[in-house]
């Protein structure tokens, strides 16, 4: 009986190995199908933006363009008063750049300092302050619209790019503080104690010890804040004026302001242009984003 079982074992091993390989390839095939399904809208957007209106009307939605043209991209970027589209994204794109860059930098620096204080410089009420800031992360945008509009009016920056910067900095500080606090609690407090013994002060410890160790969480904060600010529509449409609107508001205006024949190619090109900065940021620094998110998951 033992000899019979032993003789069957070598034949069973190849079958088990073949089953595992088939299961693995089946999983890969399923993942590829999900990826294709997920990327299909992007494919349609790109191909549609490269077609003329006549080809869009007469051709298939998923067909490759017969004659590639970038006229829709030029119209979406610069604008062309042809009865279909009059104003492009260019000035609003730079509005978003002028808005996002300082807002990201300010909220990241303030969040780093807050996280440093809450994590390493314990004081009475630190946990309460951190809890209140964390609670602010979950307040819906709609709740703060009226109070924020009143505050911007009192400050004299309503309808301006500095006003939008102020709004995004205030709303983003809670998130950046959370990121840096969870990261800094993993740094041994003995480093702070040793630096204090050597005579280092608050800012010397922060810039000499913590900042050199903060690259992963800095990338997380920058990507998170940049994505949130660049893609924001509600604050942009609520707190901006005609000349200070961000690119998301301009994109909505382009899609909804066409008259006569609907310029689907221009709409698709405009949507891709508006999404390119965040896409490039994730392509360049996406792997650091994942590392930074998991860096503070062991302690605290």
Hunting for tokens 């260019």 — which residue is that? 90
User: What's the pLDDT score for residue 295?
Assistant: 62
Based on the number of CB atoms within 10 Å of its own CB, is 56 exposed (0-12), middle (13-18) or buried (19 or more)? Answer: buried
Cα gap 65→75, rounded to integer Å:
18
CATH number for the domain running over 90-295: 1.10.3720.10
Give CA 26 to chain center in angstroms.
32
Model confidence pLDDT, tens digit, residues 56-82:
888 777 788 888 889 889 989 987 654
Whole-prediction pTM: 0.82
Instruction: Specify the pLDDT at position 122.
Output: 75
pLDDT given at position 154 = 93
Distance CA 213, CA 198 (A): 20
**pLDDT tens column, 109-138:** 999 999 999 888 877 878 888 888 888 888
Identify the band that residue 261 occupies on the pLDDT scale cut at 50, 70 and 90: low
How many CB atoms within 10 Å of residue 263? 23
C-beta atoms surrounding 90 within 10 Å: 15
Q: Alpha-carbon distance 248 to 144, whole Å?
A: 20
What tokens does 19 get?
Answer: 């089953």
User: What ranges do the domains of the chain cover?
Assistant: 1-40, 90-295
Confidence at residue 173, expressed as pLDDT on a 0 to 100 scale = 92
As a whole-number percent, the residues of the chain with pLDDT over 90 amount to: 35
Contact 221, 180 (CB under 8 A): yes
């Amino acid at each position: 009986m033992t000899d019979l079982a032993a003789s069957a074992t070598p034949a069973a091993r190849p079958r088990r190995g073949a089953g595992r390989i088939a299961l693995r390839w089946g999983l890969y095939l399923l993942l590829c199908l999900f990826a294709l399904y997920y990327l299909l809208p992007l494919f349609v957007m790109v191909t549609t933006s490269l077609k003329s209106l006549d080809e869009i009307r007469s051709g298939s939605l998923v067909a490759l363009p017969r004659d590639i043209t970038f006229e829709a991209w030029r119209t979406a970027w610069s604008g062309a008063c042809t009865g279909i589209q009059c104003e492009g994204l260019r000035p609003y794109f730079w509005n978003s750049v002028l808005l996002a860059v300082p807002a990201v930098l300010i909220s990241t620096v303030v969040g780093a300092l807050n996280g440093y204080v809450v994590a390493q410089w314990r004081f009475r009420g630190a946990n309460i302050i951190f809890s209140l800031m964390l609670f602010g992360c979950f307040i819906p945008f709609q709740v703060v619209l009226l109070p924020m509009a009143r505050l911007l009016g009192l400050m004299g920056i309503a309808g301006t790019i500095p006003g939008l910067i102020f709004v995004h900095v205030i709303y983003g500080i809670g998130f950046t503080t959370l990121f840096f606090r969870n990261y800094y609690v993993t740094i041994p407090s003995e480093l702070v104690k040793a630096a204090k013994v050597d005579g280092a002060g608050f800012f010397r410890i922060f810039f000499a010890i913590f900042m050199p160790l903060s690259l992963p969480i800095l990338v997380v904060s920058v990507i998170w804040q940049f994505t949130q600010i660049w893609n924001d529509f509600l604050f942009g449409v609520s707190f901006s004026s005609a000349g200070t609107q961000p690119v998301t508001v301009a994109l909505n205006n382009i899609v909804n302001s066409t008259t006569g024949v609907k310029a689907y190619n221009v709409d698709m090109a405009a949507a891709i242009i508006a999404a390119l900065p965040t896409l490039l940021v994730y392509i360049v620094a996406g792997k650091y984003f994942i590392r930074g998110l998991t860096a503070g998951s062991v302690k605290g």
